[in-house]
């Protein structure tokens, strides 16, 4: 039976701490780097992560890519916002669809490395789809009114002022909800 020699990959990060054993071998910055790696490891294969970090170090000149660059994760892919571009370092710097991917990544909120809230009209519009509010249905961001409730009133001919009085939603929230639900508001 043929056995291969053990393979040794270099570490993904370089530790900053002392090696004499008196203090922890990891610095605060190392812990931040490890947290990034741990969160990505659940969704992206380790060789892709390794390749992305290597690309960022070699091609973008980042000494500590995990701390110096604005990494984003979308599905199993890693991206780096570099200037006005969004690049995929695991694909040797392939440019991503800048507008679509950038807008999508910017419109998501993450907690514990999972997207939990999406701003479908962008962060400037006060409507969100939050997995933790109203069963993940589109909802006004401040008052928590389901957009379908606003749309129902709008279809019945209610004005913005009437909807606001009935739901406590602001006029801005009502207009954004109508846009999400593709309904026309009465004048």
Tokens coding 5:
């020699």
Read off the pTM.
0.49
Q: Is 62 helix (H, G, I), strand (E, B) or coil?
A: coil
Query: Phi and psi at residue 137, in whole multiples of 5°?
Result: -85, 155
**pLDDT tens, per residue, the chain with 187 residues:** 567 777 777 777 777 766 666 666 777 778 788 888 887 777 778 888 888 888 888 888 888 888 887 777 776 777 777 776 778 877 776 666 555 555 666 777 777 656 788 888 888 999 998 888 888 889 999 999 999 999 999 999 999 999 999 999 999 999 999 999 999 998 7
What is the DSSP track for 60-87?
S--SSHHHHSEEEEETTEEEEEETTEEE
Domain ranges of the chain: 25-98, 107-187
Cβ atoms within 10 Å of 43's Cβ, excluding its own: 15
């Amino acid at each position: 039976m043929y056995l291969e020699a053990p393979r040794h990959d270099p570490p993904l990060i370089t530790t900053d701490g002392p090696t004499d054993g008196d203090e922890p071998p990891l610095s605060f910055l190392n812990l931040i780097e490890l947290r990034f790696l741990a969160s990505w490891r659940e969704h992206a294969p380790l060789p892709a992560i390794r390749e992305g970090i290597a690309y960022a170090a070699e091609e973008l000149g980042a000494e500590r890519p995990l701390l110096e660059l604005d990494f984003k994760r979308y599905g199993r892919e890693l991206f780096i916002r570099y200037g006005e571009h969004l690049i995929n370092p695991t694909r040797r710097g392939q440019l991503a669809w800048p507008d679509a991917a950038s807008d999508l990544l910017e419109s998501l909120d993450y907690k514990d490395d999972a997207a939990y809230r999406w701003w479908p009209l962008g962060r400037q519009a006060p409507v969100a789809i939050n997995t933790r509010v109203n069963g993940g249905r589109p909802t006004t961001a401040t008052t928590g009114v389901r957009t379908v409730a606003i749309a129902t009133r709008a279809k019945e001919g209610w004005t913005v002022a009437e909807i606001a009085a009935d739901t406590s939603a602001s006029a801005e929230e009502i207009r954004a909800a109508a846009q999400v639900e593709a309904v026309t508001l009465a004048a």
